[in-house]
Structure 1
């Protein structure tokens, strides 16, 4: 089968990380590789559409060991079913989800076929097309991991006791117009929270349409002061950008309550005493230990509870999506089939994507 496979060696990856640009030519290429073989607990998926994430080009440029299949978000149909999965899946079922792409052969989404544990995928409703279904991968899972696993908000689709409170507590979400931001806004609203977020003026209507209650322009040098004036007691926040000034603004919002900030990239030391930072990675949702830049890079332990959370989330997702309680971000279709993946990843590298999710149909 055809797949996008990483090819750099350790020296070129370290050089790319240090210099901020690709060294030694293209770091991944489409090539023919064996079709994955599945275990009794897995399903084989014929990939029909993929969504692109910044983590994909980060894996290509720096993280992935040679020979890894790239890509995380997918939608398609079931091609084979493991013996222990026949009660849940049948050949021809429409399926979508996320895989830990960029780590091992056979797992990445940017391929004709991929394999996934049968309980870590979700059944796509008939009225949801493949392009929209493919977006419920890294970004949606990250929102769930941040809010439900780390911050303790009620899970989407389950009883929301918080709604019976007279005044809904507020949560701060930096970068609400990103795909992760739009999913985090919706998940927080389903939990009964008032959502305070940042966005550019041209994205204000977009984030409000996804449930944001208050939107502040992050370009404003006094944006944190404006937020704390109206919402002085915010104690939890998610930084869906996690670069540059986003950490400082989030810390300003949390300083009164000495609150907790969830970040998607490595954060600096908190700006104020009592404020807590916690980095999350969606890859812990697969329940296995892993390492970046092996053999010298950082390691993460297996977190079985995170895996249970992803299975729980995907079990309820068909109902949430079918009832329109959880919506896909705007889909930005990239033409060109397989070549569209590379074009789209270049746009992400250049920071030219806003207000939607790039999706490629294969």
Structure 2
């Protein structure tokens, strides 16, 4: 089968991390690659569309060992069903989800076929196309992991859609609300009854409000944190959906009056103020397997069974949540070029040319 496969070796990856740029030429290419073999608990998926994430190019540039299939977010149709999975899946079913791309030779999404645990995928409703379905991958499940698992907010299927928000509703601060992760986090937090305060560029103000934000501030303003605290002085929880540069400092400044907890999507800086705690979340812990980056020297991450249960629960509820538009996909930009479009789109992400939506490639 065709697949986007990683090429770099350990020394070039370490150099890329150290110097902050790609060393040794392109880190991945489109190759012929062995088709995955499934276990009784897995399904084989013929991939029809993929969504692109920053984690994809970061794996290419620095994390992926040689010979790994890149890519996490996918939509397609079931091509083969393991014996234990036949109760819930049949050949031809439309399916979508996320896989742990970039670290294994047989699990990435940027391939003609991928394999996944049968309970860690969701059935696409008839009125949802593949491009939209592919966006409910890393960004969506990271929002769920952050809010429902780490912060213990009510789950989306437990919430009443359209219920009137109480004036006393607690506020949550979401940095970078116009990112895909931000838009999903806004929706799930608003469903849980929170007042959502976020940041974005002025041209995205209407976008984030249409997804449920109660208030939005320009992240470029020098006094943005002070402006937020003035209007919302009791914020105790925050989610940094950018997690680079000045975002940590702004989030800490929003939390400094009351102390509180900041969830980050990349390794956080040291908190700037006493009483503020930082915690990193990674969607990869949702797949229930231990893993290591930059083996044999890099950090190891244990299997977290409760995270895996959370992903199975979220994807079991997602068909209804999507059908009744309780949770909506982010705005979609189709990247032309099929397989070549994957690498072109990742270059756009790498250079910061994508905002306010999700790049999707149809294969």
TM-score band, normalised by shorter chain:
over 0.9
Once the two structures are TM-superposed, the CA of residue 108 in structure 1 deviates from its matched residue by 0.3
Residue 115 in 1 paired to residue 131 in 2? no
Once the two structures are superposed, residues 164-184 of structure 1 have per-residue CA deviations (whole angstroms, 9 ceiling, x without a partner) of 855211100000000000000
CA distance in 1, matches of 2:53, 2:92: 27
Q: CA deviation at 1:20?
A: 1.6
* 8 Å contact kept, 1:36–1:115: yes
Mean alpha-carbon deviation: is it higher for 206-215 or for 153-162? 153-162
- The answer to whether 1:175 aligns with 2:196 is no
Superimposed CA distance per residue, residues 127-185 of structure 1 (whole angstroms, 9 cap, x where no aligned partner):
00000000000000000011011011011111469978552111000000000000000
Map 1:285-324 → 2, pairs under 5 A: 285-324=286-325
Aligned CA distance change for structure 1 residues 165 and 50 (closer, same or farther; 3 Å): same
Counterpart Cα distance in 2 of 1:130 and 1:211? 24
| TM-score scaled by length of structure 2 | 0.98
TM-superposed CA distance for 1:272, in Å, is 0.5
Q: Does 2:190 match 1:219?
A: no
Confirm whether residue 66 of structure 1 aligns to residue 61 of structure 2. no
Residue aligned with 2:186, SS: helix
Cα distance per residue 1:173-204 (max 9 Å; x no partner): 00000000000000001111110000000000
2:203 paired with 1:202: yes
Q: What do the CA deviations read for 1:258-306 (whole angstroms, capped 9, x no partner)?
A: 1100000111111110100000110000011101111111111111000
User: Equivalent residue for 1:158?
Assistant: 158
User: After superposition, where does 1:268-287 map in structure 2 within 5 Å?
Assistant: 268-287=269-288
Take 1:279 and 1:236, find their aligned partners in 2: how far apart are those partners? 14
2 CA distance for matches of 1:159 and 1:330?
A: 24
Structure 2 SS opposite 1:131? helix
Assess, with a 3 A threshold, how the Cα gap between structure 1 residues 163 and 307 changes in structure 2: closer, same or farther. Answer: farther
Alpha-carbon distance, 1:116 to partner: 0.1
Q: Secondary structure at the match of 2:156?
A: coil
1:192 equivalenced with 2:193 (yes/no): yes
Give the aligned partner of residue 29 of structure 1: 29
Question: Is 2:159–2:191's contact at 8 Å kept on the other side of the alignment?
Answer: no
Partner of residue 236, structure 2: 235
Bigger Cα displacement from structure 2, 146-155 vs 19-28: 19-28
- In 2, the alpha carbon distance for the partners of 1:201 and 1:228 equals 19
Q: Stretches of 4+ moved more than 6 A in 1?
A: 160-164
Task: Write the distance in 1 (CA, Å) between the matches of 2:194 and 2:38.
Answer: 41
Contact 1:156 1:191 (C-alpha < 8 Å) held by counterparts? yes
Check the 8 A contact 1:154/1:160 in 2, yes or no: no
2:81 aligned partner? 81
Kept in 1, the 8 Å contact 2:291–2:301? The answer is yes
| Runs (5+) with no aligned partner, structure 1 | none
Q: TM-score, normalised by structure 1?
A: 0.98
Q: Is the 8 A contact 1:160 1:192 kept in 2?
A: no
Deviation of 1:29 after TM superposition, in Å, equals: 1.0
The residue number in structure 1 matching 2:139 is 139
Q: Give CA-to-partner distance per residue, 1:204-262, whole Å, 9 cap, x none.
A: 00000000000000111111111011100001110000011111110111111111000
CA distance in 2, matches of 1:359, 1:303: 30
DSSP-derived class of the 2:158 partner: coil
CA–CA distance in structure 1, aligned partners of residues 160 and 259 of structure 2: 25
Figure out how many residues of one structure are paired with residues of the other and give that number.
362
Residue 7 of structure 1: how far off its partner (Å): 1.1
Does the Cα contact within 8 Å between 1:163 and 1:191 map onto a contact in 2? no
